[in-house]
Amino acid sequence: MGNPALDAAFEGGAAFVPYLAAGDPDFDSSVEYVEALERGGADVIELGLPFSEPIAEGPTIQNAVVRSLEGGMTPDRFFEFVEALDVDVPLVCMTYYNLIYRYGAEEGPRPFVEKAAEVGLSGFVVPDLPAEEADPLREACDEFGLDLVFIVAPTTTGDRLDRIMDRVSGYVYVQARLGVTGAQDDVSGQTASSLDRLSEYDVPKAVGFGIKTGDHAERIVAGGADGIIVGSALVDIVAEGHENGDDVGAVASRLEEKARELKQGAERGFAQRAPEAERT
């Protein structure tokens, strides 16, 4: 089960996993922005395919979704977007289930997954698809060799954790605090207990929701995370550049710089870990 590209991305240190909404604010700028993230040190990139009702997102990403949809983003454009990117790191598609379910002539998730495999995506995160409803997508991912990442929330315990861990591959997305996406000014205390509960499961643990600075990244990785996922703090840079009418190149270099700060924070955190805590 799964895709060797994602396994590789989590080897040898803490992975930096940035998120941007594909096509925010328009197709061409967004290609530049995603490529800048790789230059800044991304190990995996989560690309959002915008859905009109993003119930798991806070205002920052909701607004990005609106910009991207207004810029003409569709599932087919998204696949073109992936093909247009010149990056070597694995790409994970983050979207809502209705878009996956509705794609193609055949009913169910298979046509979407087939197309995703064809354009070279490595896996999916689907925030409104709990383990209970995920078997059809899991099967399609197995058929085409893609990973299916699940989110584990602070409220997830017991049977639910086992059910998720039975179906997850690639990495598990550890939601650092309750609520919706959005950059925070401090790191949640819930992260440590979440990582603790997951320690017996042998899959990389990437922590997300609220991470904003290199310092946050450092502390979370030092605390045992195998990776950090950062969305809103990067989308904020895109939004600001768009509102101020800044040059695409200037925004891209700000993104690259922010990515580097976060990656270096993760590396410092990793260096602080006791050798026995390191992944082998």
Q: Interface residues with other proteins (CB under 8 A)?
A: 51-58, 62, 66, 69, 74-76, 96-99, 101-103, 127-130, 132-133, 150-157, 160, 164, 175, 178-180
Nearest to other proteins of 99, 146 (CB atom): 99
Position 26: which residue type?
D
Query: For residues 276 and 280, what is the distance between their CA atoms, to the nearest angstrom?
Result: 9
Strand partners, 260: none
CA–CA dist 96, 145 (Å, integer)? 20
Q: What kind and span of H or E run contains 231?
A: none
Q: How far is the CB of 55 from other proteins (least distance, A)?
A: 5
Residue 98 or residue 199: which is nearer to other proteins going by CB?
A: 98
Angle between helices 135-144 and 110-119 (to 10 degrees): 30
* From 35, 57, 218, 256, active-site residue: 57
Q: How far is the CB of 199 from other proteins (least distance, A)?
A: 19
Residues 128 and 96: their CA atoms lie apart, in Å, by: 6
What is the DSSP code (8-state) at residue 176? -
Our CB check for other proteins shows the closer of 160 and 260 to be: 160
From 35, 38, 46, 256, active-site residue:
46
Is 57 one of the catalytic residues?
yes
**Annotation says 267 is catalytic:** no
Q: How far is the CB of 256 from other proteins (least distance, A)?
A: 30
Smallest gap, in angstroms, from Cβ of residue 280 to other proteins?
29
CA–CA gap between residue 242 and residue 67 (Å, rounded): 10
- Comparison of 29 and 68: residue with beta carbon closer to other proteins: 68
Rounded CA-CA distance 132/160 in Å is 9
87 vs 67: CA distance, rounded Å:
23
Catalytic residues: 46, 57
